Structure 1
Amino acid sequence: MPYQGLEQSIGFTMGMTYRKLTNFFQQRLREYAITPEQWSVLYQISKSDGLIQKEIALRTSKENPTVTRIIDHLEKEQLIHKRPGVQDRRSFVVYITDKGRQLINETTAINESVNDEVKKVISAEEYELMISLLLRINNHMQASIEKS
């Protein structure tokens, strides 16, 4: 196979695009004093109040230590609160506070504006196809990781 260079590497291209999208989102979240990483955790908690940390990690595709750090920060900022788990006292259940829900309500449009920015350069059909392909790649890679 001939050398194609980094610009033809799916990992490189996705990583570069991810960093630019994240930077774009972070700039718009700046006035709310929350990062895209923190926002994604808070958003998942807002969608399903009462999640355990392991479920939050799965839904955000983040490692448990990263989720622990983010949860501790969100709790310090009074955006969430934790309660001991019913089945397992060593774990805890995470709930969003009114302050956290207000922040998500105010910032969801910012997340949508990032998607809208992407939709300026591709058609609706291309956008749907891109999401479908990325999810297929994600699922395949997850299965490959679990096999090894």
Structure 2
Amino acid sequence: MDYSLEQSVGFMLGFTYRKAAALLATRFKPYDITTEQFSVLFNIDKGEGVNQKEVASRVLKDQPTTARIIDLLEKKGWVERRTSEQDRRAYLLYLTAEGKALIDILVPIEREMNKELAEGIPEDQMEAFKHTLSLINRNL
């Protein structure tokens, strides 16, 4: 049987993801933020007042890893923890003004990269690709 890893959907997805993540990391480097940090920052912005457990779930990372990223984002002055009014033992996450300003810079960079990735691909094919990816995710 002739079979190569290049034919594996998982291999192809991983290879493409690594290339895209490396390109985005290069574009984010001047802003002193990694793609993983961006993902956490973006998800805090998407639902301010969210707790760490929810952020970890959204970014598909374990809680200790998420906590380390949040600590770093807090140290950089982009995120702040506030005590929950409902439960004084818990804290909720918010972006600082600097964090919001950074999101306003980074989201267009990420959007532009997505446009470049889809360059030359008809819109209906991109929609079909996204649909297929969502089905694969559901199967996983």
Query: Into which bin does the TM-score normalised by the smaller protein fall?
Result: over 0.9
Which runs of 5 or more residues in structure 2 are unaligned? none
Residue 85 (structure 1) shift: 3.3
SS at match of 1:94: strand
Task: Report the Cα distance in structure 1 between the residues aligned to 2:51 and 2:138, rounded to whole angstroms.
Answer: 22
- Report the equivalent of 1:23: 22
SS at match of 2:48: coil
SS at match of 1:34: coil
Residue 134 (structure 1) shift: 1.2
- Report the equivalent of 1:135: 134
- Report the equivalent of 2:116: 117
Q: Specify the code of the residue in structure 2 equivalent to 1:66.
A: T
Kindly indicate whether residue 91 of structure 2 is the aligned counterpart of residue 92 of structure 1.
yes
Task: Report the Cα distance in structure 2 between the residues aligned to 1:26 and 1:121, rounded to whole angstroms.
Answer: 23
How does the TM-score come out when normalised to structure 1? 0.88
Residue 35 (structure 1) shift: 0.4
Q: Specify the code of the residue in structure 2 equivalent to 1:60.
A: V
**CA-atom RMSD in angstroms:** 1.4
* Farther-moved stretch of structure 1 (95-104 vs 2-11): 2-11
- Report the equivalent of 1:74: 73
Q: Specify the code of the residue in structure 2 equivalent to 1:39.
A: F
How does the TM-score come out when normalised to structure 2? 0.92
SS at match of 2:139: helix
Q: Specify the code of the residue in structure 1 equivalent to 2:93.
A: V
